[in-house]
Structure 1
Amino acid sequence: MNLGKTLFAQLMEFVPWTSFARIVAQYGGDSRVRSLGCTEQFRAMAFAQLTYRESLRDIETCLLANQTKLYGMGFRSPVKRSTLADANEGRDWRIWADLAALLIRRARKLYCNDSFSVDLDNTVYALDATTIDLCLSLFPWAPFRSTKAAVKLHTLLDLRGNIPAFIHISDGKMGDVNVLDMLPIEAGAFYVMDRGYLDFSRLFALHQAGAFFVTRAKRGMNAHRVYSMPTDRTTGIICDQRIALNGFYISQDYPEQLRRIRFKDPESGKTLVFLTNNTVLPALTIAALYKSRWQVELFFKWIKQHLRIKAFLGTSENAVKTQIWIAVCTYVLIAIVKKRLKLSHSLYEILQILSLTMFETTPINQLLPNPSTNSEPPISPIQGVLL
């Protein structure tokens, strides 16, 4: 029963605190700490994400205004902005990265049977990166251009549930394609990416690991046709070919044949050329897989609009990574709550309602009842970005 518990306290019950304590002990997060341990630090930063707090003073003032409820929310004493700032600066950001990885594993188990736009049993990942602009004078550790700093959020998104399966945070100068060297490769899975990741030696390593990739060809690619498969042009498939790369070095990077599909999108009229190492799926399915890659773009728009990862509460590398990883934890935590409580609302709707009701004591499933059949269908977490 959740009688008397604030909504914030109810949300925090979905955090695996026992496992989190082991993570904190591994990095010595609470070593020589007298106030605001890692547990309270996470609660304060998650509260900031859920209620759209913009500064440390904002967090402190909002929590002090409800001081009588702080103990029930998991705070042993009032949160001071200086103490929270020191915690964000000094505590290892890998604590929050490991907590995010733990929550991601749990969320992916909950969403593993969800369907998406392509009828396929294999796991499908979309890979992309987004840039978060920073001020060079305040964040000199994250160079991007001569007058600008930035961090990049490299994300591998599991399209069943739109849960990030892998995240790497780098400075703005890191090339997107380099993240292929860091990915945990899953045999039999599909990795869908744009042509910025077209590196044949890395793609061949992915092929040798037993995974499939779908990407776009660059103009002027040096290759020759080996043979063509019959196609029905009325479906938009112009050609379905097996090709081999020309040139001494490039043919060594990828010594086997590739599949090249030329597709004319009936909606936009654009002609796209796809490359893949999968020779079994129909050409239209390959085109549909690449189209599903857009979900990762919408994921980036969603988190930038609805989580606090554009205005930072600290300027050090550790503080920035701490805030981003806790934002990821918050996103995944809401996704877990949505699935565990079988809520039909979108993540956007859940966040909007919770942001105004954190101190209320209504049970979550009563605050967020299933909408009536006469109401409009709920907006999906991705569609909410476009409204």
Structure 2
Amino acid sequence: MFAGQLIFKQVMEFMPLPTFRRCVAKYQGERRVRRFSCLDQFLCMAFAQITYRESLRDIEACLRSQQKKLYHMGIRGRVSKSTLADANEKRDWRIYAELAQHLIATARELYKEDSFSDDLDETVYALDSTTIDLCLSVFPWAPFRKTKAAIRLHTLLDLKGNIPTFIHISDGKFHDINALDILPLEVGAYYIMDRGYLDFERLNEFNQIPAYFVTRAKSNTQYKRRYSHPVDRSTGLICDQTIVLTGFYARKDYPRALRRVKFRDEKTGKSLVFLTNNFTLPALTIAQLYRSRWQIELFFKWIKQHLRIKSFFGTSENAVKSQIWIAVSVYVLVAIMKKQFDLQESLYTILQILSVNVFEKVPFYQLVTERDYNQETRCPNKQLNLFD
């Protein structure tokens, strides 16, 4: 039966507390901490993400106005601006990074049965980065230009469910190509990238796994055609070729054959040239795969609009990274709930509903769908079964 929990508490029920405590112990997050625990910090920051708070003072004022409900939200420590600022400054951001990675693994398992393409059973990833501008005088640890600071979020997005599987936070000077050096590659997976990642020495590493990449060619790429394959020009395809690189350094860095697909977009009238190390998929599928890369652009736009990652509650590197990883954790938590409850509503709709109902005591499913349901069949049950 529904126990009358707050909506915020129902959301946090999906957070794996044993895993979180292991992360805290691993990085000594509560060493010399008496009252305000890492869990209190996470819950306060998650509250800020869900309810769109703009500052630490804003968080303090809202939570103190609901003092009697803090215990039922799971917050045991006294909430104050200085205490929360100190926690963001000193508690290791890797605690929340590892928690987010665990939630990501859970979400990917839930979304693995979703179909991305009828032609592909393998996992398809989109790789890109987004820049968040900062003030150089306030964030001197994140240099970008002479008068500007910035951080970059290098993100690998699983296109099944739009779940970010890899995130690297760097300063603005960290080039996109360098992200390929730390990118975890999966056997048989497809990686869709723009031409900012065109580095033949690094792309040659994909063949060692093996994994597949689809990227755009630069206009000055030198090559020699080996074979031309027939294409249906009515679909927008212009050519499908097997090539070898002829540039001195490019040929040395990538001695293997490549596939070159040229496609004309009817809507824009532009001709796009794609390079890939996959020779089995139809040429039109290669073009459609690259088109799906646009989902990561929409993902960046979405999180910048609906998560608190453009203005920060602290100025240190640790505080910024902690806030970003907690924001990612909240995003994945909502994605997990969406799948667990089999909701048809979008993540945007769910977050908007949550933002104004965190202190309500109604079943989450009923709140989102405006329908009655049996809480026992929907909510994750933590009671151990005595009998199989």
For the criterion TM > 0.5, the same-fold answer is: yes
The equivalent residue for 1:241 is: 241
Letter in 1 for 2:323: Q
Q: Distance in 1 between matches of 2:123 and 2:247?
A: 34
Counterpart for residue 330 of structure 1: 330
Q: For 2:155, what is the secondary structure of its paired residue?
A: strand
Q: Is 2:278 the partner of 1:281?
A: no
**Secondary structure in 1 aligned to 2:267?**
coil
Give the letter for the 2:160 counterpart. Answer: R
- Render the CA deviation track for 1:168-219: whole Å, top value 9, x for unaligned: 0000000001000101110100000000000000000012210000000000
1:206 aligned partner, one-letter code: F
The structural deviation recorded for 1:4 is 2.0
CA positional deviation for 1:117 = 5.1
- d(CA) in 1 for partners of 2:36, 2:81: 11
Mapped pair 1:12 → 2:12: yes
Deviation at 1:118, TM superposition (A): 5.6
- Offset of residue 249 of structure 1: 2.4
What root-mean-square deviation, in Å, do the aligned CA atoms of Structure 1 and Structure 2 show?
Answer: 1.0
How much does 1:269 deviate?
1.3
How many angstroms apart in 1 are the aligned matches of 2:278 and 2:164? 24
- Aligned partners of 2:323 and 2:234: how far apart in 1? 50
Q: Using the alignment, how far apart are the partners of 1:309 and 1:118 within structure 2?
A: 35
SS of the residue 1:227 aligns to: strand
Q: Report if the CA contact (8 A) 1:70-1:78 is conserved.
A: no
Q: C-alpha distance in 2, partners of 1:275/1:284?
A: 13
SS in 2 for 1:70: helix
Task: Map residues 1-387 of structure 1 onto 2, 5 A cutoff.
Answer: 1-116=1-116, 119-369=119-369
Question: How many pairs align?
Answer: 371
SS at match of 2:214: strand
Hey, what's the Cα distance between the residues in 2 that align with 1:19 and 1:330?
Answer: 16
Contact 1:118 1:289 in 2 (8 A): no
Q: Call closer, same or farther: CA 1:103–1:301 in 2, change over 3 Å.
A: same
Q: Report the AA paired with residue 199 of structure 1.
A: D
Instruction: Quote how far apart the aligned CAs of 1:234 are.
Output: 1.0
Contact residue 35 and residue 78 of structure 2 kept, 8 A: no
Whole-Å Cα distance in 1 between the matches of residues 361 and 220 of structure 2?
62
How far 1:115 moved relative to its partner?
A: 1.8
| Offset, 1:370 | 6.8
Map Cα deviations across residues 2-30 of structure 1 (whole Å, 9 max, x no partner): 43210001111000001110111000001
Could you tell me the TM-score, scaled by structure 2's length? 0.94
Question: Aligned partners of 1:82, 1:229: CA distance in 2, in Å?
Answer: 66
Separation in 2 of the partners of 1:370 and 1:220? 57
Q: Matched residues, percent identical?
A: 66
Q: Which runs of 5+ in 1 are unaligned?
A: 372-387
Could you tell me how far apart the structure 1 residues matched to 2:227 and 2:6 are? 65
Structure 2, unmatched stretches of 5+, are 372-388
Superposed CA offset, 1:52-106 (max 9, x none):
0000010011001111111010111331110000000001111111001000000
Query: Which residue identity lines up with residue 120 of structure 1 in the other structure?
Result: L
